[in-house]
Amino acid sequence: MESPFKPDALKGRVALITGGGSGIGFEISSQFGKHGASIAIMGRRKQVLDAAVSALRSLGIQAIGLEGDVRKHEDARRVVESTFKHFGRIDILVNSAAGNFLAAAEDLSPNGFRTVLDIDAVGTFTMCSEALKYLKKGGPGREDSSSGGSILNISATLHYTASWYQIHVSAAKAAVDATTRNLALEWGTDYEIRVNGIAPGPIEGTPGMSKLGPEEIESKARDYMPLYKLGEKWDIAMAAIYLSCDSGKYVNGSTMVVDSGLWLSKPRHLPKEAVKQLSRVVEKRSRAKPVGLPTSKL
Which residue ranges make up the site for ligand COA (CB under 6 A)? 98-101, 103, 108-109, 111-112, 115-116, 207-208, 211
- The three-point CA angle 171-172-178 to 5° equals 90
Read off φ and ψ for residue 258, nearest 5 degrees: -125, 80
CB of 97 to ligand COA, least distance (A): 8
Q: Residue 111 or 161: which CB sits closer to ligand COA?
A: 111
- Burial of residue 2, with CB atoms counted within 10 A of its CB: 0-12 exposed, 13-18 middle, 19 or more buried: exposed
CB of 14 to ligand COA, least distance (A): 25
Mention every residue, 6+ apart, whose C-beta is less than 8 A from residue 217: none
Q: Residue 20 or 99: which CB sits closer to ligand COA?
A: 99
CB of 171 to ligand COA, least distance (A): 14
Choose among 113, 26, 33, 116: nearest CA to 70: 116
Give the residue nearest to ligand COA (CB): 99
Cα dist. 49→18, 21, 45, 67, 168 in Å?
A: 11, 5, 6, 8, 27
Q: Residue 128 or 154: which CB sits closer to ligand COA?
A: 154
Q: Residue 58 or 111: which CB sits closer to ligand COA?
A: 111
Q: Residue 5 or 263: which CB sits closer to ligand COA?
A: 263
Q: Residue 142 or 159: which CB sits closer to ligand COA?
A: 159
Residues 148 and 188: their CA atoms lie apart, in Å, by: 9
Q: Residue 72 or 229: which CB sits closer to ligand COA?
A: 72
CB of 118 to ligand COA, least distance (A): 8
Which residues on neighbouring strands pair with residue 94, listed in sequence order? 17, 152
Q: Fill in the DSSP letter of residue 4.
A: S
Cα dist. 105→2, 102, 169 in Å?
A: 42, 9, 11
E strand or H helix that includes residue 80: helix 73-87
CB of 112 to ligand COA, least distance (A): 3
CB of 278 to ligand COA, least distance (A): 43
CB of 265 to ligand COA, least distance (A): 20
For the sheet with 63-67, list strands across it. Answer: 63-67, 38-43, 14-18, 92-95, 150-154, 194-200, 255-258
Q: Fill in the DSSP letter of residue 206.
A: S
